[in-house]
Amino acid sequence: MITAFIEGPLWYFALVVFLIGVAWRLFAIARIGSKPDLSVPRRSAAVSGFMTSLRRFLPRREMGSRIRLHVLAGYMFHLGLFALLLFAAPHVLFLQEHLLGFGWTPMPYWAFIVTSQIAFAGLLLLWLHRVLNPVTRLISDADDHVAAVLTFVVMLTGCLALMEAFTGLRVLHRFTVELLMIYFPFSRLMHAFTFIPSRAYTGALFGRRGVDA
Amino acid sequence: MARMKFLCDAERCIECNACVTACKNENDVPWGVNRRRVVTINDGSPGERSMSVACMHCSDAPCEAVCPVDCFYTTDDGVVLHDKDTCIGCGYCFYACPFGAPQFPTAGAFGSRGKMDKCTFCAGGPEADNSAEEHRKYGSNRLAEGKLPLCAEMCATRALLAGDGDTVSDIFRERVTWRGSSGLTWGWGVAYSKPGLRRGRDVEGRATGKD
Amino acid sequence: MNNNKPGRTRRPVALYSALMALFSLMLALPMAPQAWAGGSEPAAKVVNPGTELWREVRQREAPRAGVTQVAGMDSGVLINIRGEQWRQFRMEQLIPAAGVLIGGVLGLIVFFHLLKRGVRLEHGRSGNYLLRFKEIDRILHWYVATVFIFLALTGLILLTGRVVLIPVFGHEVFSVIASASKEGHNLFGPLFLLGVIGLLIRFVSKNFPGKGDLGWLLTAGGFLGGKHPSAGFFNAGEKIWFWLVIFIGLTISATGLILEFPFFGQDRPMMELSLVLHGVGAVLLVAGLFGHIYVGTAGMEASLESMTSGYVDVNWARQHHDQWAEVCEAEGAVIAGEDLAKKQRLRGTKNRVPDRPVAEEGR
């Protein structure tokens, strides 16, 4: 009964909330627009926007050694997560069957395990940093913590179901994924879709005026 | 009630592996999993002996004792079976088994195993007797049809005996008696050397000169 | 029968019967083994040619293995005696010992706490602080703590679940829990190894035996003999805990890796030995962990904040780690309370922006 609900109505509900929510948020941001810039452009805005999007993948040199752990853990988590989501065999099969109708070559199983270990370590270090650093602890709110914990729970339930032999564990993972999908558009996790536009906008705005941002 | 046992007569086993093939065929055992195997000691030398071994269906099975999820059970016939739905693939039964009976399909990396598979004495599993589900998971259930395991039925030389322990040991005792005073009057000790029925021979088959 | 056929000569039935009987008797002679061997030598003196071979197959040390068509580790071994030894150790010794040890340690801690109610700050709080653990140390510590607790929980479920949890949950539900535990345990294992290596790198320099350690041990940290013994950055008890974590942790990790990657020729005796070391080490660490948690929280007042905020009260430092407090005070590393209190609130505040300095000098 519960399985049918989670794999049926709740899945469709989560999918709809996720897709429409993300689209709505992006549309709302785009709709704000910007005032026309009447100054003489010093540099191409488009090129600057593109360059800033790439440049911001690495921290500024002024940050020095203070930010090293954060950047390392951050990449561990994000790269591991994308590798997991897009190239782990059970996920590729799922996307093929339930969403896209086509698939691609997945990672070998050992790579699946290693990337998930890296992702777990990265997320754990990131969240601990958030809680133990006095500045980040002060500026973090419930949204930040819920996002981190929920993502961790989704990954954990996936790990627990690795044997792929027990329906309960698979359904638990599916359920937490759906919770995350419903939570996604209303939270900071939207950074997944907004970080490129944000960097590009800032880069374009300042680059047009001749400033590297 | 009958207590089912296997007995392999090493003086008759000719290492033909018919038992292995019969088991794999009858139970649709997947690749890489071998419920029964024939082990040959001293292969190629005088004194070579072969024995077919699978699950021995121990009366006090160590696999049953060690399983962390307690998925083994012993039927009224003394056959040790297990429930694949409960099995978590930890491999402890394989470590505990003296005969290496539990087998695992290599399911993933890092030595992670799938569900354990082993000789069932052709008695299936916890599913309904002779159902499609039972055959898919555990192989055929010959015992429910009143038949004995196919490995023993197929044995070319009747080296492998299977059935009620008392009956099997009666058959074997009769054989031993029929063979005469010792293993030297019959079997491999004689087959590969000059027959000298009363001559003392060592394990290599060489005559020791004693009468 | 012969008599009934018409036109046939009657055969001498009696003669034939007697001959048949004699013939049968001769055939039956081989069935009497004792009578066959010349009468003088009993058959038991002749050794079965297979005796030596089967003894070698069955022996405990280096049993004779054969060849087989089945490819696999140890598939040529007919009898693995060690398996039963391992099974007995695990089911009849390790599992009960784990219960006794863990239950015993917990009971001891409760008893100890009821008796002593924890060690209080002798002079209360001073309101001034010293930095004890930098952020990286705290992150590393809690990383190892989280991963270890997860591993301990899943490991204990796998070890004792059959005895403790199956009666509660039943076989079906427990197999789900056990499968989840096994997969989680196997995945997080290597993460623990990374954490232990990190701890080793960061803390080893502070954990070599030093001045005051022997005295600390002899007075059991001040428990025997009233006066609080002198100690450096880490006292002897902490150093012992550190080295236990490192050595047992590395043993557990090494055996865990052996168990998780059985493609390097590990045979069954090696896997069984690894399981034994892994289990024993893990149970010891879990028992020690309860003591560590107790001392870090209820057992000693004002200790936990060293690992959460990183700062400790100067009075705490003077009481428990006087050598280190002395060095810090000489360096002028004491931070006044008001500055710290603002920044080190453990709960977030409603205003996200930290306090700004008031513009006084007319900017």
**Selected residue of C135, C311, C344 to mutate for chain A interface (largest A Cβ count, 10 A):** C135
Instruction: Check if the beta carbon of residue C45 is closer than 8 Å to that of residue C34.
Output: no
Instruction: Check if the beta carbon of residue C317 is closer than 8 Å to that of residue C325.
Output: yes
Q: Does C48 touch chain B (CB under 8 A)?
A: yes
Q: Which residues of C touch B201 (CB under 8 A)?
A: 49
Q: What is the reported pLDDT for C354?
A: 43
Q: Which of B86, B90, B184 sits opposite C182 (nearest CB)?
A: B90
Interface contact flag, A163 C179, Cβ < 8 Å: yes
Instruction: Check if the beta carbon of residue B193 is closer than 8 Å to that of residue B205.
Output: yes
Q: Does C272 touch chain B (CB under 8 A)?
A: yes
Q: Which chains touch A (3 or more CB pairs under 8 A)?
A: B, C
| Distance separating alpha carbons of residues B31 and B114, to the nearest angstrom | 13
Give the residue numbers spanning the domain of C253: 129-261+274-343
Q: What is the DSSP letter of B205?
A: S
Q: What is the reported pLDDT for A212?
A: 80
Rg, C-alpha atoms of chain B: 19
Q: What are the residue ranges of helices labelled H in C263-343?
A: 268-294, 304-308, 314-320, 322-331, 337-343
Instruction: Check if the beta carbon of residue C246 is closer than 8 Å to that of residue C288.
Output: no
User: Distance of CA A7 to CAs A103, A176, B45, B49, C180, Å?
Assistant: 20, 12, 63, 58, 20
The enclosing domain of A70 has a CATH number of: 1.20.950.20
- The count of other CB atoms within 10 Å of the CB of residue C331 is 9
* ipTM, interface predicted TM-score of the complex: 0.92
- Helical pair C171-203 and C236-260, crossing angle rounded to 10 deg: 130
Note whether residue A56 is domain-resident: no
Note whether residue A55 is domain-resident: no
Q: Which of B42, B53, B110 sits opposite C186 (nearest CB)?
A: B110
Q: What is the reported pLDDT for C363?
A: 35
Q: How confident is the model at residue B186 (pLDDT cuts 50, 70, 90)?
A: low
In total, how many domains does chain C have? 1
Q: State which residue of chain C sits closest to B70, comparing Cα positions.
A: C162
Interface contact flag, B108 A109, Cβ < 8 Å: yes
Q: Does C31 touch chain B (CB under 8 A)?
A: yes
What is the least distance, in Å, from the CA of A44 to any CA of chain C? 35
Per the listing, tokens 């992006």 go with A26
Q: What is the reported pLDDT for A208?
A: 92
Q: Answer yes or no: is pLDDT of B180 > 90.
A: no
Q: Does B65 touch chain A (CB under 8 A)?
A: no
* CB within 8 Å of chain B, chain C residues 170-229: 171-172, 174-175, 178-179, 182-183, 186
Q: What is the reported pLDDT for C40?
A: 46
Q: Which of A162, A83, A152, A164 is nearest to A121 (CA)?
A: A152
Q: How many angstroms separate the first and last alpha carbons of chain B?
A: 46
Q: What is the DSSP letter of C43?
A: G
Note whether residue C227 is domain-resident: yes
Interface contact flag, B100 C90, Cβ < 8 Å: no
Q: What is the DSSP string of A1-51?
A: -HHHHHHTHHHHHHHHHHHHHHHHHHHHHHHH------SPPSS-HHHHHHH
In total, how many domains does chain A have? 1
Residue C311, classed as helix, strand or coil, is strand
What is the least distance, in Å, from the CA of B199 to any CA of chain C? 10
Q: State which residue of chain B sits closest to A166, comparing Cα positions.
A: B85
Amino acid at C110: V
Q: How many helices (H) and strands (E) does chain A have?
A: 10, 0
Please state, for a pLDDT cut of 90, what percent of chain B lies above it.
Answer: 67
The enclosing domain of C174 has a CATH number of: 1.20.950.20
What is the per-residue pLDDT across B10-69, written as a single tens digit (0 to 9) for each? Answer: 888 999 999 999 999 999 988 888 999 999 998 888 788 999 999 999 999 999 999 999
Note whether residue C280 is domain-resident: yes
Mean pLDDT in residue range B92-121:
85
**Selected residue of A107, A112, A160, A163 to mutate for chain B interface (largest B Cβ count, 10 A):** A163
Mean pLDDT in residue range B82-105:
93
Q: Which of C36, C38, C174 sits opposite B69 (nearest CB)?
A: C174
Those residues with Cβ within 8 angstroms of residue A142's Cβ, 6 or more apart along the chain or in another chain = none
How many A/C residue pairs have CB atoms within 8 Å? 75
Note whether residue C188 is domain-resident: yes
Interface contact flag, B109 A163, Cβ < 8 Å: no
- The domains found in chain B, sorted by start residue, are 4-163 (3.30.70.20)
Interface contact flag, A163 B88, Cβ < 8 Å: yes
Note whether residue A82 is domain-resident: yes
| Distance separating alpha carbons of residues B105 and B34, to the nearest angstrom | 10
Q: How confident is the model at residue B209 (pLDDT cuts 50, 70, 90)?
A: low
Q: Which residues of A touch C308 (CB under 8 A)?
A: 132
Q: Which of A128, A137, A165 sits opposite C139 (nearest CB)?
A: A128
Interface contact flag, C183 A161, Cβ < 8 Å: yes
Note whether residue A182 is domain-resident: yes
Lowest average pLDDT, out of A128-142, A183-197, B121-135, C63-77, goes to C63-77
| Distance separating alpha carbons of residues B114 and B91, to the nearest angstrom | 9
How many A/B residue pairs have CB atoms within 8 Å? 19
Instruction: Check if the beta carbon of residue C96 is closer than 8 Å to that of residue C279.
Output: no
Note whether residue C109 is domain-resident: no
Q: Answer yes or no: is pLDDT of B155 > 90.
A: yes
- The count of other CB atoms within 10 Å of the CB of residue A66 is 11
- The count of other CB atoms within 10 Å of the CB of residue C325 is 23
What is the per-residue pLDDT across A29-39, written as a single tens digit (0 to 9) for each? Answer: 999 988 888 88
Residue B39 phi/psi, 5-degree rounding, is: -105, 130
Q: State which residue of chain B sits closest to A108, comparing Cα positions.
A: B109
Those residues with Cβ within 8 angstroms of residue C354's Cβ, 6 or more apart along the chain or in another chain = A135, A138, C343
Residue B152 phi/psi, 5-degree rounding, is: -70, -35
Interface contact flag, C139 A132, Cβ < 8 Å: yes
What is the per-residue pLDDT across B194-203, written as a single tens digit (0 to 9) for each? Answer: 455 445 556 6
Helix, strand, coil percentages, rounded to 5, for chain C: 65, 5, 30
Q: What is the reported pLDDT for C42?
A: 46
Amino acid at C166: I
Those residues with Cβ within 8 angstroms of residue C192's Cβ, 6 or more apart along the chain or in another chain = C144, C147, C148, C151, C249, C252, C253
Q: State which residue of chain B sits closest to C189, comparing Cα positions.
A: B110
Q: How many helices (H) and strands (E) does chain C have?
A: 15, 3
What is the per-residue pLDDT across A72-127, written as a single tens digit (0 to 9) for each? Answer: 999 999 999 999 999 999 999 999 999 899 999 999 988 999 999 999 999 999 99
Give the residue numbers spanning the domain of A119: 2-31+65-208
Residue C41 phi/psi, 5-degree rounding, is: -95, 120
Longest dimension (CA), chain C: 153
Q: Which of A113, A163, A165 sits opposite B109 (nearest CB)?
A: A113
| Distance separating alpha carbons of residues C247 and C284, to the nearest angstrom | 12
Q: State which residue of chain B sits closest to C271, comparing Cα positions.
A: B95
Note whether residue A59 is domain-resident: no
Answer with the residue of higher pLDDT: C145 or B179.
C145
What is the per-residue pLDDT across A7-46, written as a single tens digit (0 to 9) for each? Answer: 999 999 999 999 999 999 999 999 998 888 888 999 999 9
Instruction: Check if the beta carbon of residue C83 is closer than 8 Å to that of residue B96.
Output: yes
Q: What is the pLDDT along chain C (363 residues), one digit of tens a residue?
A: 444 555 455 566 667 666 666 665 555 555 544 444 444 444 445 667 778 888 888 888 888 889 998 887 788 999 988 899 999 999 999 999 999 999 999 999 999 999 888 888 888 888 888 999 999 999 999 999 999 999 999 999 999 999 999 999 999 999 999 999 999 999 999 999 999 999 999 999 999 998 889 989 988 888 777 788 899 999 999 999 999 999 999 999 999 999 988 888 888 889 999 999 999 999 999 999 999 999 999 888 889 999 998 999 999 999 999 999 999 988 887 777 766 666 555 444 444 444 444 444 443
